[in-house]
Amino acid sequence: MTTYHPLNEAEAIEIARTLDGVFTPGAELSCREIGDGNLNLVFHISDPASGSSIIMKQALPYAKVVGESWPLTLDRARIESEALILEGKLAPGLVPAVYLYDKELALTVMEDLSDHVIMRQGLINGGRYPLFADHISTFLAQSLFYTSDLGHNQQEKKLRMASFINPELCKITEDLIFDAPYTNADTNSFENAIRDEAEALWNDGELHLEVALLREKFLTQSQALLHGDLHTGSIFITTESTKVIDPEFAYYGPMGFDIGAVIANLLLNYAAREGRDSIESQREEYRAYLIDTIKDVWSQFHSKFLALWDAHGVDRLAAAAPGYKENYMQRLLQDTIGYAGCKMVRRIVGLAHVADIDKIEDAAARERAQRLALRIGKSLIKQGRQAASIDELIDTALSASTA
């Protein structure tokens, strides 16, 4: 048995050769380590002669973004592969196929998606993805409904929850999203130019109350199996296809956390247009595209989720109680808006940022984008509990950008 160690490219090739039916025996395989995320090694292995290729992802026993001083469980590779397999059943075609999971090496071998681009980079480049809202709303509706008490046998759900407890990865979220940005924490990272904004976050009691409520829900509400880190860097995309990757943060939590993550990352790109489109009309046109996409994601999710509930609901009272569905969907919208705000704030002052904004070269434009993202994020957090429609989130984004 091979004991755990981080693989090198030659070892990755040797493992790839053992996979059944993927590469021709004796083929000249090439391999590149392409991981640019915060946590893992990612090998791209291909046979240029046949065009066959795979991705091999290996968890490191620490958080790569910080180093060996931040140990991290290898069990996240199991969680990721089990979540991908389950999501592939619930939302066919919207996640990569998993070919192998090796527990000892914390290794997942999966479909290569090199014909796609990482959505974050696609959006930075001004790409438009007309099927994205349809695809991601299907992914969200199917994966959340069928793992919730509305769409899954409630005893089986409890048993499945045991496989997705994921305390170490949840703690990263609890600390980096729901705590550190709101105090002078060592893990925070922001530019001196916006120190006033960071200090304002540390001293805003009204904001702290809302974040504490959202944090409490993240800690305690096992509503459905979440992806847990559904930002645009966790989505591969083309104009025809969307594939959700990287569910290593999967756990049973509040659904709005996943939907909010998608919306937050569209809004982070919206804020980043400050430094990306020098012609104002182009900037506004692209922002309008992002806003339309956000509206479509929510409205399509809303109707697909309700259609699943009507057709496949397993909870008698939840279906029959007058007003319950409307109440449930309204609470879900409110959570979505609040979590979207938290996800924006953490990307500006917390440990892990987004390239949309960090890679803006012009310092003044970057600062404008950071301030705009914080204005939108804080407003969303504060308005979440009162919100009655997605239009309120849109109005917040629009009015923050003209303030």
Residues contributing to the site for Mg ion (CB under 5 A): 37, 246
Q: Is 317 annotated as a binding residue?
A: no
356: contact with ligand SR1 by CB under 6 A:
no
229: contact with ligand SR1 by CB under 6 A:
yes
170: contact with ligand SR1 by CB under 6 A:
no
Give the CB-side neighbour count of residue 43, counting CA atoms within 13 A: 22
Nearer to ligand SR1, 267 or 351 (CB): 351
DSSP strands (E only) in 90-233: 98-102, 107-111, 117-118, 224-226
Contact (Cβ atoms closer than 8 angstroms) between residue 341 and residue 167:
no
Q: Letter for the amino acid at 49?
A: A
Nearer to ligand SR1, 63 or 294 (CB): 63
Classified as helix, coil or strand, 54 is: strand
Write each residue from 88 to 117 as x if it is in contact with ligand SR1 (CB under 6 A), else as -, in one continuous string.
------------------------------
63: contact with ligand SR1 by CB under 6 A:
yes
Nearer to ligand SR1, 65 or 403 (CB): 65
d(CA 268, CA 245): 20
Nearer to ligand SR1, 64 or 160 (CB): 64
In this structure, what token pair is assigned to residue 297? 């994601």
CA geometry: angle at 63 spanning 35 and 231, to 5°? 60
Q: Is 20 annotated as a binding residue?
A: no
d(CA 195, CA 71): 30
Contact (Cβ atoms closer than 8 angstroms) between residue 328 and residue 254:
no
Stretch that binds ligand SR1, among 106-114, 137-145, 170-178, 380-388 (CB under 6 A): 170-178
d(CA 65, CA 279): 35
Contact (Cβ atoms closer than 8 angstroms) between residue 84 and residue 55:
no
36: contact with ligand SR1 by CB under 6 A:
no
197: contact with ligand SR1 by CB under 6 A:
no
Ordered DSSP codes for 103-118? TTTTEEEEE--TTSEE
Q: Is 40 annotated as a binding residue?
A: yes
- List 55's β-bridge partners, or say none: 44, 110
Q: How far is the CB of 27 from ligand SR1 (least distance, A)?
A: 34
Q: How far is the CB of 42 from ligand SR1 (least distance, A)?
A: 13
Q: How far is the CB of 354 from Mg ion (least distance, A)?
A: 12
Q: How far is the CB of 234 from ligand SR1 (least distance, A)?
A: 7
Nearest-CA neighbor of 122 among 131, 134, 109, 111? 131
* Binding-site residue ranges for ATP: 40, 57, 111-113, 246-248
Q: Which residues bind ligand SR1 (CB under 6 A)?
A: 38-39, 63, 65, 172-173, 176, 229, 351-352
* Binding-site residue ranges for substrate: 229, 346
* Binding-site residue ranges: 40, 57, 111-113, 229, 246-248, 346
